Amino acid sequence: MSLLVMKFGGNVLSRPDGIHEMLRIIASQRPIWDEIVVVMSALSGITDALQALARTAESGDQGNVRSEIASLRELHIEALASPLATMPTCTPSSRS
Mean pLDDT by 10 residues, the chain (96 residues): 91 78 91 94 89 96 95 86 64 50
The gap from C-alpha 1 to its chain's centroid, in whole angstroms, comes to 26
Q: Look at residue 92 in the predicted model and tell me its pLDDT.
A: 54
The pLDDT score that the predictor gives to residue 93 is 55
Cα 33 to its chain centre, rounded Å, is 21
Q: What is the pTM of this model?
A: 0.60
- Distance, in Å, from the CA atom of 17 to the CA atom of 3, rounded to the nearest integer, reads 26
pLDDT in the model for residue 96: 42
36 closest CA partner among 49, 23, 54: 23
- Sequence-ordered strand ranges (E) for 2-86: 3-8, 35-40
